[in-house]
Amino acid sequence: MGRFYSDTLEEGVRLIYFQADPALFPQGVKLVEQAVVAGEPDAYYYLARCYAWEDGNVQGDERKAKELYKKGIALGSDLCVLGADRMGALNEEMKAVMVRSLRESYDAVLKMAEAGEPMAQYTVGLFYFWGDMLFRFQKPSKEEFDRCEKENAQVALKWFCRSAEQGCIPAFRNAFNGMRGGINSIPKDPKEALRWAESVKDKVDMRDYYYSMVVEYQRLKDYGNANRWCRIGMEAGDSSCIVSLGLVYLEGDKGLPMDEKEALRLFGLAAENGNEYGYYNMGRCYYNGWGCAQDYRQAVEYFKKARDLGHTTADMFLSRCYYYGRGVQQDQLTAFRLAKALRDKEQDYPREILGLCYLNGIGTMPDYALARSLFEQAGTGYYASCIGLGDIYSKGLGVEEDIQKAVSYYENAASRGNAEASERMKQFKKTIFGKWKRR
C-alpha cells in the first residue's frame, strides 16, 4: 500500500481492514481522520466507509458518509466515486463535483488494483459482486443477463481472492462466504471455500472466522479438521470454538471420545470469558449431573447468568426449575410466565411444563385440549408428559376416560424410576382378564 497512500493513511487502513482486534480499530479510525484533516483525497473514502458500513466499529451515519464522499470526489478521489456509487449516493449533486466520469474513475481504481493495491482490488471486486458493473456499464439484454452475471461473479471472486491473499479481511469474508454459500451467482462449493481458506490462513487474520471454519467442517462431517480449528480458536481465546469443542466431548460422536469432565472444563473456560453459551452449558451440566455432581442451585445460577447475557433458551430450564423448586424456591406462576413468554416469541420452550400449567390452571384458566397437545408435542421422553397424559385419560379431562391408556403412560414413566408415576399406579389394579381398573 505504501506507494498509494501516506504513511498515516496506510497505517490507519491496516488497523481497520487488515487485523481483527477491535481494540485497535479506534486507533485506525483516528489515523484516517488525521489523513482527512491533512487533505488526502482517498482518506475521505475510508472514513466515509466507516460511517456508511460501520467499518472499524464506527457508528453508522449516512449523512456524514455522503458528505465525506462528496468532499473526496471534489478532491479527485476515484475510490470515493466508486464508494458513493456503491452506497447509492452518486446523485446529480455528487456528479457536479466529479473530476472524472464514473467509467474513468473505475478504470483508475482498476489500474491501482492491477498494480497490487489490495483495497482497490477489494473495491473492484465489489463493483462486480453487487452488480454495479452489470447495471452501470454492461447493461446486457435479457438473453445475456444470466451469463453476464455469472461471469461477473467469477471476476469478483478473483479480485476478492487476490486482495485476501494480501491480508484484506473484508475481501476474505466475501470470497469465503461467497463460495461456501453460493452468494450472488458465485457457485456454491463449501469444500473449495475451505480449501482456499486453508491456503490463506497464514496471510489473513482469521480470528473472526475460526468458528465458521469449525461449523463448515462439521457440516461436511470432517470432524478431524473441525476439531483442529476448535483448538486453533481455543488457543486464540475464541469462546465459540471452546464451547463447540466442549459439545464434542459432551456428545462423544464427532471424532473424540465422550468426556463429560473435559466438556465441563471447557464450558467453564468459555464462561470465564463471559460467553453466554459457556454459562448455558455449565447450567446444563449441573442440571443433569454431567461431569459433576447434580446441583440444581448451581445450575440455576449459571442459567441466570446466561439469560442476563441474552441466552433466552436458559429460560426453558429456569421454567422447569421454578416449577419443581429445583435449586430455587418453587414458584409455578413464574414457571408458567417464563414458558409462555418463550412460546409467544416463537422460541423453544418447555412444552411439558406449559402443559402442566394448562392442565392444572396455574397462571391461566385450565385448557385440557391445549395441555394434551403440549404433552404430545413434548413426547413421552419427559416424565411430566407421561403423568399429564395419564391424568387426562384417567380423569377424562377433555377426552373420554380411558384407564388402559392412562396406565400405559404412568407405566412408561414408572419403568424409568419416576416416583410420582409409581404413586399414580397404586390407584389401579389388573383384573384376571388383563384389564386395568381403579382400585
Grid cell digits, residue 4: 498509494
CB 392 within 8 A of CB 372: yes
Say how far apart CA 351 and CA 358 lie, in whole Å.
Answer: 10
CA 151/CA 172 separation, integer angstroms: 20
User: Coil, helix or strand for 188?
Assistant: coil
User: Domain containing 79: what range?
Assistant: 1-99
185-198: pLDDT as tens digits: 999 999 999 999 99
Cα gap 87→404, rounded to integer Å = 69
Q: In total, how many domains does the chain have? A: 1
Which whole-number Å values give the CA distances from 302 to 6, 147, 313, 384, 432, in the listed order? 51, 54, 12, 24, 52
pLDDT at 304 (0 to 100): 98
Set of cell numbers at residue 391: 391424568
Band the pLDDT of 266: cuts 50, 70, 90: very high
Average the pLDDT over 110-117 and give the result.
Answer: 97
pTM: 0.89
Rounded mean pLDDT, 39-49 = 98
DSSP 136: I
pLDDT-derived band at 432 (thresholds 50, 70, 90) equals: confident
Residue 419 within a domain? no
Q: Any bridge partners for residue 284, and if so which? A: none
Residue 1 has pLDDT above 70, yes or no: no
pLDDT for 408 equals: 95
Average pLDDT over residues 130-156: 95
Whose CA is closest to 80, among 63, 97, 61?
97
Tens-digit pLDDT profile for residues 196-211? 999 999 999 999 999 9
Which amino acid, 322? Y
Whether residue 67 is contained in a domain is answered as yes
Question: Is 8 inside a domain boundary?
Answer: yes
At residue 2, the pLDDT reads 63
Query: Is 15 part of any domain?
Result: yes
In angstroms, rounded to a whole number, what is the distance separating the alpha carbons of residues 254 and 264?
A: 17
Range 337-341 average pLDDT: 97
Give the per-residue pLDDT at 261: 98
Give me the helices (H) in 379-418, please: 383-395, 403-414
pLDDT reported for residue 439: 84
Q: Would residue 9 count as lying in a domain?
A: yes
In the predicted model, what is the mean pLDDT of residues 381-396? 96
Look at residue 397 and tell me if it is in a domain: no
Give mean pLDDT, residues 14-36: 98
Per-residue pLDDT, 3: 82
CB contact at 8 A, 281 and 267: yes
Q: How confident is the model at residue 367 (pLDDT cuts 50, 70, 90)?
A: very high
CB of 332 closer than 8 Å to CB of 326: no
**Residue 4 included in any domain:** yes
In a domain, 133, yes or no: no
> Over the stretch 47-102, which tens digit does the pLDDT of each residue have?
999 999 999 999 999 999 999 999 999 999 999 999 999 999 999 999 999 999 99
